[in-house]
Amino acid sequence: MRKVAVALVLICAFAGKTRALTPGDLSRVTFEQHPGVQISPDLVLRDQDDRPFRLGDHFGKQPTILVLGYYRCPMLCSLINDGLIHALQELPLNVGRDFQVIDVSVDPAETAIAAAQKKSEYLRQYSRPGAADSWHFLVGDERSIKRLADQAGFRYVYDSQTRQYAHPSGVIVLTPKAKISRYVFGVRLDARELRDALVAAKEEKSSSIISQVFLLCYHYNPITGRYGGLILAILRVASLGFVAAIAWWVFSAARRLAGGNAQIN
């Protein structure tokens, strides 16, 4: 039984000629676990139609998957939502019928237009009927966003040089009463883990704090044409694995061919 959840923290910021974020900055990028904490129902944000969205008006009936990030994120947020959609497509549970999803941008400069564009994109990917009214994409002012992020334990930092945010990866599952039930970490979310989290949340259960492993890295830098240290190491390992697989395939094919020739002779 798996006891360790791995949160892969990727930096959604392009590095300039010098690193804009210091090690001290990056050390603050964490996903603190706050099981049992109540998300404030009186928080008011704005939805993809630029209408006021009071969180408490949308709690009370179903579990909620809360996704924090920002809509113009160059890589990580799209990966998280792609991973979420992939996991949701494997579930017998449906957005709308069994739970709702709330995406919130941590960037106070983002508008309802960006939220609407993302909603259209993700609903098209999810492609199940009945999700539109229960998958919300929100924006808000800095004070409201920070309050929500603090309650969720979502710690992020802004890179003023690249104008991007560094933030952790994963989603938060809330109970119908909007208490934090469980965190599901990572980019490629596990469908079974997500299903278990939704089932537990529906029963108003909150998990205990579990171990976390964070990996910090920079993604591909289009300015220097290089990858960050961890990404480069992953690519090297993947390349070696690919070469080894090709070599094994050639070796196996040669053995089968040699065996066939021997039988003919």
| C-alpha–C-alpha distance, residues 145 and 92, integer Å | 32
Q: Which residues contact 240 (CB under 8 A, 6 or more apart)?
A: none
Helix axes 112-126, 76-89, angle to 10 degrees: 40
Per-residue pLDDT of the chain (265 residues; tens, 9 = 90+): 333 333 344 434 333 334 566 777 777 788 888 999 999 999 999 999 999 999 999 999 999 999 999 998 877 777 788 889 999 999 999 999 999 999 999 999 999 999 999 999 999 999 999 999 999 999 999 999 999 999 999 999 888 888 888 888 889 999 999 999 999 888 788 899 999 999 999 999 987 654 343 333 333 333 333 434 444 454 455 566 666 667 777 777 667 666 655 555 5
- Closest C-alpha to 210, from 186, 175, 184: 184
CATH number of the structural domain spanning residue 67: 3.40.30.10
Q: What are phi and psi of 76, to 5 degrees?
A: -60, -45
Q: How many domains does the chain have?
A: 2
**Taking the CB of residue 15, how many other CB atoms lie within 10 A of it?**
22
pTM recorded for the entire structure: 0.73
Give yes or no: residues 185 and 234 share one domain: no
> Looking at residue 169, what is its pLDDT?
85
> Looking at residue 185, what is its pLDDT?
86
Give yes or no: residues 204 and 90 share one domain: yes
Give yes or no: residues 247 and 176 share one domain: no
Give yes or no: residues 209 and 236 share one domain: no
223 within domain boundaries: no
Domain of 240? 228-265
Give yes or no: residues 19 and 59 share one domain: yes
Give yes or no: residues 234 and 207 share one domain: no
137 within domain boundaries: yes
Give yes or no: residues 207 and 234 share one domain: no
The helix (H) or strand (E) run that includes residue 260 is helix 229-264
